Amino acid sequence: MEALKATGVCRRYGKREVLKDFDLTLEAGEFAALMGPSGSGKSTFLHLAAGLLSADAGTIEIGGKNIVGMSDAAAAKFRRRHIGVVFQDFCLLSGKNVKDNVMMPLLLDGEGRSVKAQRSAELLLRHLGLMGRELDYPSELSGGEQQRVAIARALVANPEIVLADEPTGNLDAKAAREVSGMLGELGSEGKSAILVVTHDPVVAARARKVHFLKDGHIVATCMTNGDPDEVSKRYLETYR
């Protein structure tokens, strides 16, 4: 079963067709990157795939379930169990500590108190280098640490897919390297698929595949060998 299968997706704003006949598939556990110039529709697609925005046409299946046309309430519930989202600006709850932020998708479904849920959160926090920070509040953390909390939250429910929109966009070079390294590690474990939108070839090169978006759909896909220079070269070839 594919983690994500988008077929014939269209989305316009007024007369402008941002996505048109957009197809994209991620296999279970696959780590892929989505690149394209500013305004090409990358965030629009992530919002559609997260059920935060509705498509005008097409289907988007997450783990085999089409989310196009779901009500907002159904989409929110589906998202908590099947989709993790990571945004550029972290979007943590400032009044909640690290642990509660990470557990939020489970707490909202009344599952946060189970031993399994607690263990899953603790494991992720350890994995992401946040042990000992459980009781801190987001304002006490660096940008890179906050983004790692957001990544832990995205993964805590073992979703089919994590959708990350420029997760290193607000970080300095060192924190960006750390966060992209951790995404790469989590990606290679292959539990949840990861789709990361990024302008950074270093982040994209961590993925197995890079998809290039142009004129509303994917026009090229390359396999990465971990080399950011290769990704940059393919980018320039696609958009020159």
Ligand X SMILES: Nc1ncnc2c1ncn2[C@@H]1O[C@H](COP(=O)(O)OP(=O)(O)OP(=O)(O)O)[C@@H](O)[C@H]1O
- What is the Cα gyration radius of the chain? 17
Select the span of 40-48, 74-82, 115-123, 147-155 touching ligand X (CB under 6 A): 40-48
Closest CB to ligand X among residues 43, 101: 43
**CA–CA distance, 106 with 104 (Å, rounded to integer):** 5
- What is the nearest approach in angstroms of Mg ion to the Cβ of residue 171? 16
Question: What number of chain residues touch ligand X (CB under 6 A)?
Answer: 10
| 36 binds ligand X per the rule CB under 6 A | yes
Q: Using CB distances below 5 to 8 A depending on partner kind, what does residue 11 bind out of Mg ion, ligand X, none?
A: none
| Closest distance of CB 18 from ligand X, Å | 4
Q: Token digits for 219?
A: 């026009």
Q: What DSSP state is assigned to residue 20?
A: E
Crossing angle between the packed helical segments 98-108 and 115-127, to the nearest 10 degrees:
140
How far the first Cα of the chain sits from its last, in Å, is 36
Nearer to ligand X, 39 or 181 (CB): 39
Report the SS3 class of residue 15.
coil
Q: How far is the CB of 92 from Mg ion (least distance, A)?
A: 20
18 near ligand X, judged by CB under 6 A = yes
- Best CA proximity match to 197, nearest among 240, 175, 168: 168
**CB-wise, 38 or 139, nearer to ligand X?**
38
Question: Which residue, 42 or 217, has its beta carbon nearer to ligand X?
Answer: 42
Rule CB under 6 A: is residue 44 a binding residue for ligand X? yes
* CA of residue 14 relative to chain centroid, distance: 27
Among 40, 146, 180, 192, binds ligand X (CB under 6 A): 40
Instruction: Print the binding letters for residues 14-43 with Mg ion: x by CB under 5 A, - otherwise.
Output: -----------------------------x
Residues 40 and 34: their CA atoms lie apart, in Å, by 11
3-state secondary structure at position 23: strand
The amino acid at 25: T
Binding site for ligand X (CB under 6 A): 13, 18, 36, 38-44
